Chains A and B, each alone.
Chain A
Amino acid sequence: MNNSFSVIDNNQSKEKIERTANIIFAICAFFAVFAVFSISVYMIISGIPALYEVGIKEILFGTLWQPNAEVPSYGILYVILTSVVGTLMAVLISVPIGVGTAIFLAYAAPKPLVSIVKPAIELLAAIPSVIYGLIGIIILNPLMYKIELILFADTPDHQYTGGSNLLSAVIVLAVMILPTVINISESALKSVPEKFADASLALGATRIQTIFKVILPSAKSGIVTAIVLGVGRAVGEAMAITMVAGNNANLPLPFNSVRFLTTAVVAEMSYATDTHKRVLYTIGLILFAFIMIINLILNKVMKKGLKSGTKNSL
């Protein structure tokens, strides 16, 4: 022990540890970058050929998906539309509920109730998507089928889907993105300075007026972030909706069996060959582009949020 008690030595070994740690962390950071970079390059390299082979217009604007027909056609317009419409509908359902819950948690709920609701929401976020899918098959689909039987009793031309339709998928997605929306909106609402609410209440506004006219506008950018993150999760979800959506490339109407971008890839990858396989990669690339765009929007929103946040605290 006595030997090692030297100021210089100690410093040197500290220096060494510092440097090694630095290198290790740099390698860790580089690993993630490398993964992302290689995935991007791979998606672009494998997704582009089919665009030339089949034609951009045929793929993006064709409505017929028959990859193994005598004259194959690879139109994924309905698939793209389904992803867009399905995600929007899920967000439309999820955001009002989610923001409402967030307001309740942040301003209205009595403490004991918060201690029940909060863990429930966290648990909801932790449930694996395959469980959502299973519950969708067991409970949602039969229920949807009953509704379908009543609604279309007088429409002989309707193709019965057995409850595997857009609406089922939307409901599953809406529940899945709910925790994201609630958690982020709640922290946005909580970060609004207390003096805002105090000032508003002191001026004679009611609690409801304060929430809707003062707090919500101040937390706007945080709520938009919540929505965009929810959209991101919904667009990328595959497992749960494969199980409930029916997987037929149809126009996205509520009671049609539909196919999302993610499920199109998942469903056919294992047997696809040649052009069919390359088109599936192209679908992956389109999905990739979608998610990139969502992230760019998210970044813009967050940047804006940061600015308005500093303005608020001044």
Chain B
Amino acid sequence: MKKFLKNFLFSTMIITTFCVTVSCSGRQNKNVNNSMTDNNEHEKTIKEDNLSGHLTMAGSTSMEKLANIMAEAFMEKYPNVTVSTEFIGSSAGIEQVIAGTVDIGNASRNLKESEKEAGAVENIVAIDGIAIIVDKENTVNDLTKDQIIGIFTGKIKNWSELGGKDQPIVVIGRESGSGTRGAFEEILGIEDQCKYANEINSTGGVMAKVVTTPGAIGYVSIDILDDTVNAVKIEGIDATADNIAKGKYILSRPFVMATAGEISKQNEIVRTFFEFLTSEEGKRLIESIGLIPAE
């Protein structure tokens, strides 16, 4: 028995080490939560009690951050309202809002014609942008959509094929399950076809790898871009919030909170929720998680 326990003790030590690292990798999310509660502290003074009831939403996993931050801030402001959020995928979310089982269906894409015909109304609440980054030394600064697809699916392997230096392309991506990866592959229509040389589990990690690796290419949210890397133009368009807002830059996608019928026809809670989303406070929250508020 003693030896059995000794075994166990040693195993625990090792297991703990990796548990700790798991919790470290989750830290990014926690930071967002922290900044969120800070905002909430600030708003406690203007709580409103007259609204009460339930608000349900379901849909895109990429919108998890947005939905949760909004839900929590809204519940803080209106303490008698409970907001429940589910993340079941864009299409499933829209199906549910059409069927009337939820108030809001979240989709990280534009609604399809068939969905609009079935009664779903597209309310774009935020826009998400993704920048393609290369290292500073790279001479290529403009790529077409097809070239990007070629690079990330492994058909184009050397920068000389794109008019750059004769050096191999090192394709850096995010881990499976990442919202950025999902969006990037979805917009270019290359889901599960990407051949990554490295899968890195944080945006900062992708930046660091691209900075230190000559010939590397990767993708990150545009809000963390800085001058340690070059952001590539796509079809001649710079990756800026302005170009994304104007709809010129292709690597962007709308975050839609769909309702069954116009917002004005919804119940009071849903109407208040959308008012909150478009208020200065709501826009600030949207920007705080790296998204562009919709006009």
A interface residues with partner B (beta carbon < 8 Å): 32-33, 35-37, 39-40, 43, 65-70, 129, 137-138, 141-142, 145, 149, 156, 159-164, 232-233, 235-239, 242, 246-248, 257, 259, 262, 265-273, 276, 284, 287-288, 291-292, 295-296, 298-299
Q: What chain B residues lie within 8 Å of A160 (beta carbons)?
A: 157, 168-170, 197, 215
- A/B interface sample: 22 pairs, CB < 8 A: A67-B176, A70-B191, A70-B192, A129-B17, A149-B168, A159-B197, A160-B170, A160-B197, A162-B198, A162-B216, A232-B10, A236-B17, A239-B24, A247-B200, A248-B197, A262-B18, A265-B22, A267-B199, A268-B201, A295-B7, A295-B11, A296-B7
Question: Once the chains are docked, how many angstroms separate the CA of A156 from the CA of B160?
Answer: 13
Q: Please, which residue of chain B has its CB at the minimum distance from the CB of A256? A: B197
Contact status A66-B168, CB under 8 Å:
no
Question: Once the chains are docked, how many angstroms separate the CA of A167 from the CA of B146?
Answer: 34
Work out how many contacts link A and B, with CB atoms closer than 8 A: 157
Q: Is B5 an interface residue (CB 8 A)?
A: yes
Q: Is B213 an interface residue (CB 8 A)?
A: yes
Contact status A257-B197, CB under 8 Å:
yes
Question: Once the chains are docked, how many angstroms separate the CA of A90 from the CA of B21?
Answer: 21
Contact status A292-B7, CB under 8 Å:
yes
Q: Please, which residue of chain B has its CB at the minimum distance from the CB of A245? A: B198
Contact status A271-B168, CB under 8 Å:
no
Contact status A39-B212, CB under 8 Å:
no
Q: What chain A residues lie within 8 Å of B168 (beta carbons)?
A: 149, 160
Q: What chain B residues lie within 8 Å of A295 (beta carbons)?
A: 7, 10-11
Q: What chain A residues lie within 8 Å of B214 (beta carbons)?
A: 145
Q: What chain A residues lie within 8 Å of B17 (beta carbons)?
A: 129, 236-239
Q: Name the prevailing secondary structure of the A interface residues.
A: helix
Q: Is B177 an interface residue (CB 8 A)?
A: yes
The 8 closest A-B pairs by CB, nearest first: A236-B14, A271-B177, A162-B213, A162-B170, A160-B168, A295-B7, A36-B8, A69-B192
Contact status A65-B176, CB under 8 Å:
yes
Q: Is B196 an interface residue (CB 8 A)?
A: yes
Q: Please, which residue of chain A has its CB at the minimum distance from the CB of B27? A: A270
CB neighbors of A among B5-62 (8 A) = 5-12, 14-15, 17-18, 21-22, 24-26, 28-29, 61
Question: Once the chains are docked, how many angstroms separate the CA of A237 from the CA of B24?
Answer: 14
Contact status B7-A270, CB under 8 Å:
no
Per a CB cutoff under 8 Å, which of B179, B195, B200 touches A159? Answer: B195
Q: Please, which residue of chain B has its CB at the minimum distance from the CB of A261? A: B18
B interface residues with partner A (beta carbon < 8 Å): 3, 5-12, 14-15, 17-18, 21-22, 24-26, 28-29, 61, 87, 154, 157, 167-172, 175-179, 182, 191-192, 195-201, 208-209, 212-216
Question: Once the chains are docked, how many angstroms separate the CA of A141 from the CA of B7?
Answer: 36
Q: What chain B residues lie within 8 Å of A129 (beta carbons)?
A: 17
Question: Once the chains are docked, how many angstroms separate the CA of A242 from the CA of B202?
Answer: 12
Known: A236-B15, A238-B21. 11 other contacts (CB 8 A): A36-B5, A65-B176, A138-B212, A161-B198, A162-B215, A162-B216, A232-B14, A248-B199, A270-B25, A287-B18, A291-B11
Question: Which of B169, B196, B201 has most chain A Cβ within 10 Å?
Answer: B201
Contact status B29-A270, CB under 8 Å:
yes
Question: Once the chains are docked, how many angstroms separate the CA of A40 from the CA of B14?
Answer: 13
Determine how close the nearest CB of chain A comes to the CB of B32; give it in whole angstroms.
12
Contact status A299-B21, CB under 8 Å:
no
Q: What chain B residues lie within 8 Å of A284 (beta carbons)?
A: 18
